[in-house]
């Protein structure tokens, strides 16, 4: 869609491109796009991280508004921030419909949520980020990871 108001409740596909060490980091910031309510802490600001630990890659989402209230609004410190603010509640049904991980060095043996729930996934072999070679990256697609964009969550990929 080409209109922010129309896509406010559309699901997200997150793409994670691993670096040579097997890690990645990104952020997502959402507000209503119309008012100045973000100055009162009415927004969603998330950090997504992929961290390689041995043969495991852990992908997580954490609330940056709570972690960094002094940096949250154009350099203006918030007096307080509530991660379940009115805007966050208005988008609480928005989910991550797909997670695409590029550059894994091998096919996973298991992909699950941190709570142990096994997830549906597919893997296409290719170059790993650690190889440093040209070519098409390996692709892991996790369908419906049962996560919402405004929640804290973690997914564990075991090789």
Q: What is the pLDDT of residue 93?
A: 94
Q: What is the mean pLDDT of the chain?
A: 91
Is the pTM for the entire model greater than 0.85? yes
Residue with more model confidence, 9 or 111: 111
- Predicted confidence (pLDDT) at residue 2 exceeds the cutoff of 70: no
Q: What are the pLDDT digits (tens) for 60-111?
A: 999 999 888 888 777 677 877 888 999 999 999 999 999 999 999 999 999 9
H or E element in which residue 139 lies: strand 139-148
Contacts of 18 (CB under 8 A, 6+ apart): 24, 50, 52, 57, 101, 102, 103, 104, 128, 129
Confidence of residue 33 (pLDDT cuts 50, 70, 90): confident
Q: What is the pLDDT of residue 26?
A: 96
- Predicted confidence (pLDDT) at residue 135 exceeds the cutoff of 90: no
Closest CA to 25 of 53, 69, 59: 59
The string of DSSP codes covering 100-137 is EEE--SS--SEEEETTS-B-EEEEE--B-GGG--SSPB
Q: Hey, is 69 helix, strand or coil? A: helix
H or E element in which residue 140 lies: strand 139-148
């Amino acid at each position: 869609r080409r209109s922010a108001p129309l896509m406010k409740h559309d699901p997200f596909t997150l793409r994670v491109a691993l670096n040579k060490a097997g890690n990645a980091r990104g952020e997502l910031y959402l507000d209503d796009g119309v008012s100045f309510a973000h100055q009162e802490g009415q927004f969603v600001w998330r950090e997504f991280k992929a961290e390689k630990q041995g043969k495991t890659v852990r992908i997580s989402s954490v609330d940056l508004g709570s972690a960094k209230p002094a940096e949250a609004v154009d350099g203006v410190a918030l007096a307080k921030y509530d991660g379940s603010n009115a805007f966050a509640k208005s988008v609480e049904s928005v989910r991550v419909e797909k997670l695409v991980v590029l550059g894994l060095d091998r096919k996973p043996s298991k992909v699950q949520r941190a709570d142990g729930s096994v997830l549906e996934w597919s893997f296409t072999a290719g170059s790993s980020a650690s190889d440093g070679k040209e070519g098409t990256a390996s692709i892991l697609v996790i369908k419906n990871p049962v996560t919402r964009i405004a929640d804290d969550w973690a997914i564990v990929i075991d090789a």
